Every structure is written in structure tokens, then in C-alpha cells.
């Protein structure tokens, strides 16, 4: 380049810069953004810190409750879809409920004075709260049980008579930011240190007073006064529990179940608005503790009070005695900045803070937390992206744009000449998700389908009436066409002939069910064949296999499962693709129990007494039954849960070792009542039994054996947690002191250390449905106390039908049975999975690719998976269909707009050449 050219270039740059400054009029390039609700909340949060929070009024330490939109409501959980942006709130909701159920259950179960010492002791409360935090690294940062005044019958003080209470008792564990610990020389939080404090001790610790600034969790359910008794029946719900105990291996104490009814948190019907079992607090500043803005889920613990008053029996009633509280960082909670509309109902403090242009519409992005820009702007129906834009405009780009960029960009262009969607209806339409099942139901429609197919085949045959002549005439393509047609519909020549005969006889036996090639191969053959195919957008064989799997899932029921071979009641492992992620909260629930038992077995010694303090007794069978029941009761997606001790590893409080101990709890579904498995109402009856009573033991079961084999001889790779318990110095809680053992350590597994089973049908035992099992080990000290060893597994069962399947294309190595079965037109569209569609096909949408536009004039901008599947079904069955029209078209070129800067640059470039 010559120096003359350089000079021209510089002059050009100066001209452009001067013009740019002049048009800005001296304003800052970011001034176009107005102050909004987000800034206001952000400022309020920034104005509080750990140094000034003590002196601020309560109002400044709380944020408006509208800052938490769309909280999970217990009675809507079965009917509403919980989107990924609310799964972490749902998890603290469920864990708060879990603990509330556990403590309600155990206090009402062990209610006699004899059983007083079987109730949880001091370390039980502490270690359980610590496990809630340590097992939920990305979900829970604090866990507490906060008792009301004179409601906690503590069994760990020698100088407290059994019928007396502590004033207040509130053990709370929270994750401690240990970046500054002397032992932490990386100066990075390890996330593995947990502080546990008694909130009821120390100066100014009376959290029941209104002058206590951080006690919104207290006020929601407590105090539960006598005067409210007329409202009691709805506020406290009764739950039925049947338990079958075993006293020795292979033997149940009783063939009958021991039934018990206990009072727990409310269980409102779908229509009721009040008395939810779990409520959320406003976001508040956790002053002096974790010093962060947090949100708590709160659930009430119920007990019959006063206890142990024989002569005052009539005074006794069910009472909320404590609040079970779980915390999460407010910064972790997604917000929805889009305009109010369907799916984004008020109240929502941040509604309308997104900056989408009128030609676009706004969609929140999940996992963004409390940050600006957690949204994207998609073209409205009838608009398309400019050619340079790949996918929706990202909120983060918009928020960091200058005024000019915003003014001139982020707009969609109108689509001209939109068509009306072809409305082709066949008589047998009436769409149903499970096309095959439907055929079994309405046979005549099936016969019609078959008739069309045969007609089509016949037409193809008529064309090549004289096959040999055709071949000699070089028309072998006609034969090819016929063969291909038969291949697509999965029929052989004989089957076709058979079909023709049936149609003549008008025999209504479903044709496809009988004659379709069976692609669902037995297990031992599965690794060969189809799986070696290279990645492609749509895989016909996989699609057929998917239909087989879905219909097999639907065809096995409680009534007929006995007729199947055990092998047929196991689905291939790749069917449960996505379970690890979608059921992670349920796995974490099992992990919590594993952490708790590990923590307890590694730190509680039967012989220890600490001055005035009684040491905890070893875990008894009742509390472990209570724990597994609470796992099932607290989470609607957990169907069953159990704790299974390895052989000769369970030692009870009496010092006796049992060969086996395996309490397993499950949701009990009464049949015969007509409600059946699909009843929408929440079940409040639960059953549990000790697997030790069965004649065959559980050590050989896959979910036990595989985990045991991995961990039995090698415990390397476990996480090590540190907990720092602070207890009250005396009965009145004058001050806090360190617990005699300080700090405590325990080693426990991670979520990935557990094992997920393939889906299988639990036939005529407990759940009677397709389930997936997750099992995770727990560890205790070995017999000489020098190291830790494998002690058993914790297990949870979830329903296969709650799993969302993903039909979109994936790489060849992804173990997903349903990949590449989405029927998008991959030339012009791409596939996006939709959450919440469960185990049904069609849970995706086909969106237009870059450079293509949606051609129709309905109020959509994508093709729905269910429509695609249905039209495809019609197509392969030879019915009238509009499958071939469901694709995007090349977008017309945008209007050429004249930009003088571009023009100048173009001229300059021309000049420079
Ligand atoms: C213990 O609870 C059971 C079942 O709720 C109840 O029948 C029994 O009267 C209670 N016993 C005492 C001593 O409170
Ligand atoms: C709690 O118990 C103490 C001691 O028994 C008693 O002095 C106090 O009045 C009780 N408080 C309430 C609110 O019942
Ligand atoms: C506790 O029990 C003892 C003896 O059983 C009785 O004398 C005392 O009054 C009881 N105390 C309370 C607070 O109920
Ligand atoms: C806390 O305050 C309540 C009044 O709200 C009072 O009844 C109770 O005795 C106090 N508890 C303690 C331990 O100071
Ligand atoms: C601790 O947690 C934070 C945030 O959740 C994460 O960024 C960090 O990597 C974690 N630290 C360790 C040592 O895992
Ligand atoms: C827990 O606390 C850590 C920092 O101490 C934070 O990075 C993380 O986001 C918090 N997690 C939740 C779920 O609140
Ligand atoms: C969560 O995502 C769903 C689906 O995208 C949306 O309808 C809802 O408004 C979102 N909620 C929040 C609080 O972001």
C-alpha cells in the first residue's frame, strides 16, 4: 500500500469518526437505556453488606416478594409443567417438605416416654442439616429446623427432665465461604465447609420476636396458637403409613402391615388456594451468617403437644412446632424480564425489562440467574431474521449495544406472500400421540388405512403388469419403486397379499401390529446392526424401534405383566437417556440420605458422653423407616426409596448386629377404587417394608451388586467435608460454644458415584410401572475404626413415564434410543427439544434455519413435533397428508437500504484497489 493510500484511509477514518460524534450529539452511547426495576433491585442489594446490615431497618433487608415470580405451588405440581428455570426452587421446596415429613413422622411415631430416647438426638439434627447442604452442591446452601417456644423436647441434656422443653432450638447448617481459612492455601472456596449453629442460642437470639429482623420463615407457620383451632383440619393433614417389620432374615414379624396415621403439613386440593405445605419467603439478607441475599422454602413440622402429660390428655392437640427451612442464593433464581403474557403472569417485578423490538417477541433463558440479558428476542410470526442473523437476538447482545446499534439492529423483516397452511384432513385423523395404540382401538380406521395401502401397492403393480417386459424395456425402476415402497411401510410381499385377503373378508385384526418387522431386537443382539450407522438426520429404523418401545411401554400393565418374560420387562439402557439430568434432584435426595448416614456412622460413637450432654444413640430402625418414607412423601416424582445395608453391617442402638436391614418405602396406590394409576390427586397413603424379611436377599440385585463391587474394596475418590458445629453453652442458650468435637469430618460420595439402572417393569411388587432406579453407596467406619468402608446403598425409583425423550439428531456416540427420530425437514429446519412432554413422541419443534423463513400465515413460527409425527404417520400409511409441505422456504432477499457509511467505504475500497 502506498503512503498516498494510507493518507486517504486515515482521512476516511477521521471523517467517519467526526460524523459519528456529531450524530451522537455528545451523549454517552449507552444513555439509551432507562433505569428500570432491575437497576432498582440491584442498587438495593448492593447497598447492604456484612458490615452495615446490622444497623439497617428490616424493610431494607428484604426485597419485594414480587421479585420471585412463578413459584412452584404444591397442588399444581402434577398438572403444571415445571420448566428448567424453576427446578432449583422446586428442589428446595421438596427438601423442606421432606424434612418436615420426617420430623413430624418420627415425633408422632416414637411418642411414648419409653421411646423418648429413640427420637433424634442433638447430632442427628446437626448432621442431617449438614447433609442437606453437602449433598446439594448446586441446589441448597442452608438447611434448618427452627422450633417454636417450648416445643422441642430435647433428649440430649442430662439435667433436662424428659417432660420439659428447651425455650428455643434452631439448628441451622449453611455453606461457609472458606476462601480465607488458614488451611485453605488455594484461597478459593472449596464449598466443602459447613457451619452449623443453634439459632436459639447467643445474645439477641429470640427469633420469635418481631424485632428480630430476619425471621420471615418463622412468621409463615408459627406460632400456631390455640385460637386457630377451627381452621386446623385443613392446616394439618393426616397421612397413612403401613409398615411391615422383619425381625430376622427371611421372616416378617407379622404378615400384616402395621398401620399408623400421623399429622403432617397440609395437602391442599388443586382448587384450593390457601394452606400450601411449603411457602417461600421474600428474598432477604442473611446478615451475620452467610451474608448473602437468600430465599427460603418453609414447611411446618407437626407434633402432638404437650407431650407426656397423662392427666392433661384432653389438652393435647396437633400443633405446628417447628419450621423446616431450606435456603438458596437469590442470585441463582432465574427471573423473567419479558412482557406479561401467557406463561409470564403477574406478579413479576421484572416483567417488561427486556428490550425486544416490536417485530420480535421475548423468551426467557433458563440458568441465567439474577443477571441482565437472560432473554432472547425471536421473530414474531410473519417475520424472519435478516440474512446475517443466526437464530434469535440474544439479550446479552442487546443490553451491551450502543444507542445506534439498538436503533438500527435487532429487528426482524416481514415475510411477504405468506400461504395458508394446507388443510388436508383424512377421515381417520383425530390426532392421538400414540398412533399405534389408537389403531388397536379403532379397527375400522385401521382397515381403511390398510385398504389405501393395498390400493397404492396395486397401482404400483399395475404399472408394471408385465414385469419381464418392463425389465426388457429397461424399466426396472418400476420394480425398484415397488420394493422401496414395501420397505418403507415395513411389509413383505406375502404380508401384502395377506392384507388383501383380509380386506376382502373384512377381517378387522390390526394388520400392522402383526406384520411389522420387529426391530426391537433381543438384548444380546442389540449392539450390532443399526447402531453402527453413521449420524444422519432421520433414521427410519430408529423411528420404527421408537414406536415399538413406546408401544411396549404402554402395553405392559399391572394386569398383564406376569405374562411377559423377565427379559421382556427390561428396556435397553439407551431408552433412559436424559434421566441423569432430568432426575438429578431425585438422585440428590438419595445422595442426601447417603451423606447423612455416612456422616452419622463416621462421627457418632455409641460410648461417647460429653459432660452434661448425652451422646447420640446409633441409628434405630424407626428413624431409617422415617427417612425413606420422607424421601417418597416429599417429592412427587419419587415413587420408591430405600436404604439397604450390606451383610452384617447394620448395628442397632442395642449394640446388636443384624444380617440384613433394608427398609423400602413406596407410594401406595389403591386399585379397585376406580381411580387407578392415573388419578390426578396426590396420594397420601404410603407403605414400607423391610427387605430383610424376604426369602431372597437383595445382595444379588443389580442396583446393589454393581455399586458394591465398585466401592467395596476401594473408597478412593470420595469427597471430604468439614463441619463446624456450634452448640449452646447451657440449657437457656446464653451463648454459643464449640461442640466438643470441632471440627468434624466425613467422607461421602458425589452424585456421579451413583448408578442408574436401565428402565424395567416392577411387576406385582410395589410400583407396578416402568421405573428407573438410582442407587448410591454410603460409608461408615470399619470395625477397628481406622478407615471407612462400604456399608450399603441408598436407592430411589422414578417413573419412566416422567422422562422427556429427545428425538433430535445427535452424535453417533450418544446413548439415546430416540435420537434422529424427529421428523423435521433437515434441509430447511432444525430440531429443538421441548421440555415437559414426557415419554411421548412429538416433544420437539422444527425451527427455520438461517436463511429460511416460515411460509404460512398461522400464528406460529415453527412446526410442532406432534404435527410432524402425525403427518408422517399418515404418509407412511398411504393416507392423504401434508407432510411434504411442512418445511421452511428460502427467505426472499432483504430490501437494499442505502447507508452512506457503507457507500463511502465501498467507494474507498474501490479507490484503493
Ligand atoms: C402415640 O401415637 C399414637 C398414634 O398416633 C396414639 O394412638 C397414641 O395415643 C399416642 N400415645 C401417646 C402416649 O401419646
Ligand atoms: C416456656 O417454658 C418456661 C419454663 O418452663 C416458662 O417459664 C415460659 O413461660 C414458657 N413460655 C411460653 C411462651 O410458654
Ligand atoms: C414432669 O414429670 C414429673 C414426674 O413425672 C412431674 O412431677 C412434673 O410436674 C412434670 N413436669 C412437667 C413440666 O410436666
Ligand atoms: C422469646 O420471646 C417470646 C415472646 O415472643 C417469649 O415467650 C419467649 O420466652 C422468649 N424465649 C426466650 C428463649 O427468650
Ligand atoms: C464452589 O462453588 C462455586 C460456585 O458454585 C464454583 O464456581 C467453584 O468452582 C466451586 N469450588 C470448587 C473447589 O469446586
Ligand atoms: C452457594 O454458595 C456459593 C458461594 O458460597 C455460591 O457460589 C452458590 O451459587 C450458592 N448456591 C446456591 C444454590 O445457592
Ligand atoms: C420459565 O420458562 C418458561 C418457559 O420458557 C416461561 O414460560 C416462564 O415464564 C419462565 N419463568 C421464569 C420465572 O423465568
**501-559 per-position pLDDT tens digit:** 665 555 444 333 333 333 333 333 333 334 444 445 788 888 888 888 888 888 888 88
Q: Find the DSSP H helices in 464-539.
A: 467-472, 476-489, 493-505, 511-515
C-alpha cell recorded at residue 42: 440491584
Residues whose CB is less than 8 angstroms from the CB of residue 219 and which lie 6 or more positions away in sequence, other chains included: none
C-alpha cell recorded at residue 348: 413479576
Domain that holds residue 544: 535-576+805-913
Q: What is the dihedral of CA 571, 572, 578, 579, to 10 degrees?
A: 50
Query: In the chain, what percentage of residues exceed pLDDT 90?
Result: 36
Give the distance (Å) from ligand 7 centre to CA of residue 85.
6
Give the distance (Å) from ligand 2 centre to CA of residue 310.
19
Q: Rounded distance, CA 536 to CA 821, Å?
A: 10
Residue 84: inside a domain: yes
Q: Find the DSSP H helices in 714-821.
A: none
pLDDT digits (tens, 9 = 90+) for 149-187: 988 889 899 888 888 888 899 999 999 887 777 776 777
Same domain, 813 and 787: no
Instruction: Give the gyration radius of the chain's Cα atoms.
Output: 33
- Of residues 343 and 490, the one with the higher pLDDT is 343
C-alpha cell recorded at residue 891: 427467505
**Residue nearest (by alpha carbon) to ligand 6 atom 2:** 141
Q: 799 in helix, strand or coil?
A: strand
Q: What is the mean pLDDT of residues 103-115?
A: 89
DSSP, residue by residue, 355-408: ---TTEEEEE-TT--S-TT-EEEEEPTTEE--TT--SSEEHHHHHT--HHHHHH
Same domain, 612 and 743: yes
Query: Cβ distance 331 to 103 under 8 Å?
Result: no
Half-sphere exposure of 257 (CA within 13 A, CB side): 14
Query: Cβ distance 208 to 149 under 8 Å?
Result: yes
Q: Please state which of the ranges 247-251, 479-483, 605-609 shows the lowest mean pLDDT.
A: 479-483
Q: Which ligand is nearest to the CA of 310?
A: 1
Q: Which ligand is nearest to the CA of 88?
A: 6
**Residue nearest (by alpha carbon) to ligand 5 atom 12:** 190
Q: Please state which of the ranges 151-155, 341-345, 856-860, 901-905 shows the lowest mean pLDDT.
A: 901-905
Residue 309: inside a domain: yes
Same domain, 663 and 556: no
The reported pLDDT for the residue numbered 751 is: 94
Residue 13 banded pLDDT, cuts 50, 70, 90 = low
Q: Which ligand is nearest to the CA of 292?
A: 6
Same domain, 554 and 506: no
> Looking at the predicted structure, is the pLDDT value of residue 394 above 80?
yes
What's the Cα-to-Cα distance from 382 to each of 413, 659, 705, 826, rounded to whole Å? Answer: 9, 70, 58, 21
Q: Rounded distance, CA 144 to CA 199, Å?
A: 9
Query: Cβ distance 839 to 801 under 8 Å?
Result: yes
Look up the CATH number of the domain holding residue 674: 3.30.450.20
Enter the DSSP assignment of 418: P
Residue 268 banded pLDDT, cuts 50, 70, 90 = confident
* Residue in the block written with cell 463441619: 723
C-alpha cell recorded at residue 175: 455453606
Q: Rounded distance, CA 636 to CA 379, Å?
A: 37
Enter the DSSP assignment of 778: E
Residue 904: inside a domain: yes
Cβ neighbours around 374 below 10 Å, total: 24
The residue whose CB lies within 8 Å of the most ligand 3 atoms, and thus the one to mutate among 161, 166, 307, is: 161
Q: C-alpha 442: how far from its chain's center?
A: 36
- Of residues 445 and 389, the one with the higher pLDDT is 389
Q: What is the mean pLDDT of residues 290-295?
A: 92
The reported pLDDT for the residue numbered 911 is: 56
Residue 487: inside a domain: yes
Q: Is 180 exposed, middle or buried (0-12, 13-18, 19+ CB in 10 A)?
A: exposed
Q: C-alpha 665: how far from its chain's center?
A: 21
**Residue nearest (by alpha carbon) to ligand 4 atom 1:** 206
C-alpha cell recorded at residue 381: 410470526
Q: Rounded distance, CA 619 to CA 878, Å?
A: 65
* Residue in the block written with cell 411388587: 765
Angle at 633 between CA 138 and CA 596, to 5 degrees: 50
The reported pLDDT for the residue numbered 290 is: 86
* Residue in the block written with cell 417450648: 150
Q: Rounded distance, CA 729 to CA 751, Å?
A: 37
Same domain, 647 and 568: no
pLDDT digits (tens, 9 = 90+) for 203-246: 888 999 988 888 889 988 888 866 555 566 667 888 889 999 99
What's the Cα-to-Cα distance from 190 to each of 137, 180, 743, rounded to whole Å? Answer: 11, 11, 16
Same domain, 454 and 541: no
Residue 261: inside a domain: yes
**Strand 719-728 and strand 744-748: pairing?**
antiparallel
Same domain, 563 and 595: no
* Residue in the block written with cell 400384616: 256
Give the distance (Å) from ligand 5 centre to CA of residue 369.
16
Report the nearest atom of ligand 3 relative to the CA of 306.
Answer: 14
Query: Cβ distance 794 to 598 under 8 Å?
Result: no
C-alpha cell recorded at residue 324: 423446616
Q: Is 252 exposed, middle or buried (0-12, 13-18, 19+ CB in 10 A)?
A: middle
Query: Cβ distance 349 to 69 under 8 Å?
Result: yes
Q: Rounded distance, CA 192 to CA 194, Å?
A: 6
Q: Which ligand is nearest to the CA of 342?
A: 7
Q: 404 in helix, strand or coil?
A: helix
Q: Which ligand is nearest to the CA of 188?
A: 5
Q: Which ligand is nearest to the CA of 152?
A: 2
Cβ neighbours around 189 below 10 Å, total: 15
Q: Is 336 exposed, middle or buried (0-12, 13-18, 19+ CB in 10 A)?
A: buried
For 849-866, b where at least 16 C-beta lie within 10 A, e where not — what string?
beebbbbbeeeebbbbbb
Q: Rounded distance, CA 538 to CA 807, Å?
A: 10
- CB 521 less than 6 A from any atom of ligand 2: no
Which residue spans within 800-843 are E strands per DSSP?
Answer: 829-833
Residue 55: inside a domain: no
Q: Rounded distance, CA 778 to CA 791, Å?
A: 6
Give the distance (Å) from ligand 1 centre to CA of residue 285.
41
Same domain, 910 and 835: yes
Same domain, 782 and 813: no
Mean predicted lDDT score pLDDT of the chain: 81
Query: Cβ distance 37 to 63 under 8 Å?
Result: no
Cβ neighbours around 533 below 10 Å, total: 12
Query: Cβ distance 755 to 681 under 8 Å?
Result: no
The reported pLDDT for the residue numbered 725 is: 94
Residue 718 banded pLDDT, cuts 50, 70, 90 = very high
The residue whose CB lies within 8 Å of the most ligand 7 atoms, and thus the one to mutate among 66, 283, 344, is: 344
The residue whose CB lies within 8 Å of the most ligand 4 atoms, and thus the one to mutate among 146, 203, 208, 732, is: 208
Count the domains in the chain: 3
C-alpha cell recorded at residue 100: 418436615
Q: What is the mean pLDDT of residues 825-840?
A: 89
The residue whose CB lies within 8 Å of the most ligand 5 atoms, and thus the one to mutate among 191, 367, 719, is: 191
Give the distance (Å) from ligand 7 centre to CA of residue 866.
22
Q: Rounded distance, CA 40 to CA 38, Å?
A: 5
Which residue spans within 265-329 are E strands per DSSP?
Answer: 279-280, 284-285, 293-305, 317-329
Give the distance (Å) from ligand 6 centre to CA of residue 179.
13
* Domain end among 763, 782, 802: 802
Q: Give just the sign of the alpha carbon dihedral 584, 585, 588, 589.
A: negative
The overall longest dimension of the chain from CA atoms, in Å, is 109
User: Which residues form the pocket of ligand 6, taking CB atoms under 6 Å from any ligand atom?
Assistant: 138-139, 141, 175, 177, 189, 328-329, 332
* Domain end among 483, 514, 545: 514
- CB 240 less than 6 A from any atom of ligand 1: no
Residue 527: inside a domain: no
Asked if residue 709 has a cis previous peptide bond (ω within 30° of 0), the answer is no
> Looking at the predicted structure, is the pLDDT value of residue 471 above 50?
no
- CB 361 less than 6 A from any atom of ligand 7: no
DSSP, residue by residue, 110-134: T-SSGGGGGS--HHHHHHHHHHHHH
pLDDT digits (tens, 9 = 90+) for 675-693: 333 334 446 789 999 999 9
Residue 42: inside a domain: no
Q: Rounded distance, CA 759 to CA 772, Å?
A: 5
Q: Which ligand is nearest to the CA of 208?
A: 4
Q: Rounded distance, CA 870 to CA 794, Å?
A: 42
Give the distance (Å) from ligand 6 centre to CA of residue 177.
9
Q: Rounded distance, CA 658 to CA 646, Å?
A: 10
Same domain, 566 and 598: no
C-alpha cell recorded at residue 668: 401406595
Give the distance (Å) from ligand 3 centre to CA of residue 163.
6
Same domain, 181 and 280: yes
The reported pLDDT for the residue numbered 803 is: 93
**98 — phi, psi (to 5°)?**
-55, -50
DSSP, residue by residue, 595-635: HHHHHHHHH--TT-EETTEEPPPPPPHHHHHHHHHHHHHH-
Same domain, 297 and 316: yes
* Domain end among 771, 802, 833: 802
Query: Cβ distance 630 to 642 under 8 Å?
Result: no
Report the nearest atom of ligand 2 relative to the CA of 164.
Answer: 5
Q: Rounded distance, CA 724 to CA 411, Å?
A: 55
The reported pLDDT for the residue numbered 434 is: 35
Q: Rounded distance, CA 572 to CA 527, Å?
A: 10
Cβ neighbours around 647 below 10 Å, total: 14
Report the nearest atom of ligand 6 relative to the CA of 138.
Answer: 13
Give the distance (Å) from ligand 4 centre to CA of residue 126.
23
The reported pLDDT for the residue numbered 853 is: 83
Q: Rounded distance, CA 317 to CA 310, Å?
A: 13
Amino acid at each position: 500500500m502506498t503512503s498516498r493510500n494510507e493518507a486517504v484511509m486515515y482521512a476516511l477514518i477521521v471523517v467517519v469518526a467526526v460524523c459519528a460524534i456529531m450524530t451522537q450529539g455528545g451523549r454517552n452511547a449507552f444513555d439509551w437505556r432507562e433505569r428500570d426495576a432491575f437497576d432498582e433491585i440491584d442498587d438495593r442489594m448492593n447497598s447492604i453488606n456484612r458490615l452495615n446490615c446490622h444497623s439497617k431497618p428490616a424493610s431494607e433487608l428484604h426485597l419485594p416478594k414480587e421479585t420471585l415470580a412463578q413459584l412452584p405451588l404444591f397442588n399444581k405440581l402434577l398438572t403444571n409443567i415445571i420448566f428448567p428455570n424453576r427446578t432449583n426452587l422446586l428442589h428446595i421446596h421438596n427438601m423442606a417438605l421432606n424434612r418436615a415429613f420426617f420430623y413430624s413422622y418420627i415425633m408422632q411415631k416414637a411418642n411414648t416416654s419409653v421411646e423418648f430416647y429413640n427420637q433424634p438426638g442433638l447430632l442427628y439434627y446437626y448432621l442431617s442439616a449438614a447433609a442437606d447442604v453437602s449433598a446439594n452442591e448446586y441446589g441448597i446452601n442452608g438447611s434448618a429446623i427452627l422450633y417454636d417456644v417450648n416445643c422441642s423436647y430435647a433428649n440430649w441434656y442430662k439435667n433436662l427432665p424428659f417432660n420439659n422443653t428447651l425455650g428455643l432450638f434452631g439448628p441451622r447448617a449453611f455453606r461457609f465461604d472458606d476462601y480465607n481459612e488458614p488451611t485453605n492455601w488455594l484461597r478459593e472456596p472449596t464449598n466443602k465447609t459447613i457451619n452449623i449453629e443453634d439459632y436459639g442460642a447467643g445474645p439477641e437470639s429470640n427469633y420469635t420476636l418481631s424485632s428480630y429482623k430476619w425471621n420471615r420463615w418463622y412468621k409463615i407457620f408459627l406460632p400456631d396458637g390455640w385460637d386457630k383451632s377451627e381452621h386446623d383440619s385443613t392446616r394439618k393433614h393426616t397421612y397413612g403409613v403401613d409398615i411391615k417389620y422383619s425381625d430376622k432374615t427371611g421372616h416378617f414379624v407379622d404378615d400384616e402391615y402395621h398401620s399408623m396415621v400421623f399429622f403432617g403439613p397440609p395437602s391442599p386440593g388443586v382448587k384450593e388456594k390457601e394452606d400450601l405445605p411449603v411457602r417461600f419467603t421474600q428474598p432477604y439478607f442473611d446478615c451475620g451468617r452467610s451474608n448473602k441475599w437468600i430465599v427460603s422454602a418453609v414447611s411446618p413440622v407437626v407434633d402432638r403437644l404437650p407431650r407426656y402429660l397423662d392427666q392433661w390428655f384432653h389438652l393435647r392437640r396437633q400443633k405446628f412446632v417447628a419450621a423446616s427451612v431450606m435456603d438458596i442464593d437469590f442470585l441463582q433464581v432465574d427471573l423473567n424480564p419479558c412482557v406479561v403474557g401467557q406463561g409470564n403472569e403477574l406478579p413479576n417485578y421484572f416483567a417488561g425489562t427486556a428490550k425486544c423490538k416490536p417485530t420480535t417477541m421475548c423468551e426467557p433463558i433458563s440458568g441465567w440467574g439474577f443477571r441482565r440479558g437472560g432473554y432472547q428476542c425471536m421473530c414474531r410470526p410473519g417475520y424472519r431474521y435478516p440474512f446475517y442473523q443466526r437464530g434469535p437476538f440474544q439479550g446479552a447482545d442487546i443490553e451491551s449495544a450502543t444507542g445506534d446499534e439498538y436503533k438500527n439492529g435487532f429487528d426482524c423483516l416481514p415475510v411477504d406472500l405468506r400461504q395458508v397452511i394446507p388443510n388436508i384432513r383424512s377421515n381417520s385423523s383425530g390426532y392421538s400421540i400414540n398412533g399405534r395404540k389408537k389403531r388397536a382401538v379403532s379397527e375400522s380406521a385401521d382397515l381403511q388405512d390398510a385398504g389405501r395401502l393395498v390400493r397404492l401397492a396395486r397401482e404400483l403393480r399395475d404399472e408394471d403388469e408385465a414385469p419381464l417386459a418392463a425389465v426388457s424395456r429397461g424399466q426396472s425402476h418400476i420394480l425398484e419403486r415397488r420394493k422401496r415402497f414395501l420397505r418403507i411401510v415395513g411389509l413383505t410381499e406375502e404380508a401384502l397379499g395377506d392384507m388383501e385377503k383380509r380386506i376382502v373378508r373384512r377381517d378387522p385384526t390390526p394388520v400392522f401390529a402383526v406384520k411389522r418387522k420387529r426391530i426391537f431386537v433381543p438384548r444380546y443382539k442389540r449392539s450390532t446392526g443399526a447402531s453402527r450407522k453413521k449420524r444422519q438426520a432421520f433414521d427410519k429404523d430408529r423411528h420404527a424401534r421408537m414406536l415399538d418401545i413406546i408401544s411396549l411401554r404402554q402395553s405392559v400393565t399391572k394386569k398383564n405383566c406376569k405374562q411377559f418374560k423377565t427379559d421382556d420387562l427390561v428396556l435397553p439402557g439407551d431408552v433412559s437417556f436424559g434421566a441423569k439430568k432430568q432426575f438429578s434432584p431425585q438422585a440428590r435426595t438419595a445422595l442426601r440420605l447417603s451423606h447423612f448416614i455416612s456422616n452419622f456412622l463416621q462421627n457418632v460413637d455409641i460410648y461417647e458422653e460429653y459432660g452434661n450432654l448425652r451422646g447420640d444413640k446409633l441409628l434405630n430402625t424407626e428413624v431409617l423407616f422415617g427417612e425413606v418414607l420422607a424421601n417418597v412423601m416429599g417429592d412427587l416424582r419419587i415413587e420408591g426409596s430405600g436404604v439397604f445395608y450390606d451383610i452384617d453391617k447394620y448395628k442397632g442402638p442395642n449394640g446388636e448386629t443384624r444380617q440384613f436391614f433394608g427398609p423400602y418405602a413406596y407410594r401406595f396406590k389403591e386399585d379397585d377404587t376406580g381411580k387407578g394409576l392415573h388419578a390426578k390427586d396426590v396420594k397420601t397413603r404410603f407403605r414400607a417394608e423391610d427387605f430383610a424379611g424376604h426369602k431372597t436377599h437383595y445382595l444379588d440385585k443389580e442396583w446393589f451388586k454393581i455399586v458394591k463391587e465398585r466401592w467395596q474394596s476401594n473408597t478412593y475418590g470420595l469427597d471430604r467435608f468439614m463441619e463446624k458445629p456450634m452448640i449452646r453453652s447451657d440449657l437457656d442458650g446464653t451463648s454459643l460454644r464449640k461442640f466438643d468435637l470441632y471440627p468434624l469430618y466425613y467422607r461421602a460420595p458425589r452424585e456421579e458415584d451413583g448408578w442408574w439402572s436401565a428402565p424395567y417393569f416392577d411387576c406385582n411388587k410395589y410400583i407396578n410401572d416402568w421405573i428407573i432406579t438410582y442407587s448410591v453407596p454410603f460409608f461408615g467406619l470399619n470395625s477397628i475404626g481406622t478407615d471407612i468402608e462400604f456399608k450399603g446403598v441408598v436407592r430411589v425409583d422414578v417413573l419412566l413415564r416422567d422422562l422427556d425423550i429427545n428425538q433430535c439428531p445427535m452424535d453417533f456416540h450418544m446413548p439415546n434410543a430416540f435420537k434422529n427420530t424427529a421428523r423435521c425437514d433437515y434441509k430447511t429446519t432444525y430440531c429443538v427439544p421441548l421440555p415437559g412432554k414426557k415419554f411421548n413422541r412429538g416433544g420437539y419443534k422444527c425451527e427455520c434455519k438461517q436463511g429460511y423463513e416460515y411460509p404460512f400465515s398461522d400464528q406460529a413460527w415453527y412446526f410442532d413435533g406432534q404435527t410432524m409425527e402425525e403427518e408422517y404417520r399418515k404418509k407412511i400409511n398411504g393416507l392423504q397428508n401434508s407432510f411434504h409441505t411442512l418445511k421452511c422456504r428460502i427467505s426472499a432477499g432483504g430490501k437494499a437500504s442505502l447507508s452512506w457509511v457503507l457507500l463511502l467505504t465501498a467507494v474507498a475500497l474501490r479507490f484503493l484497489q
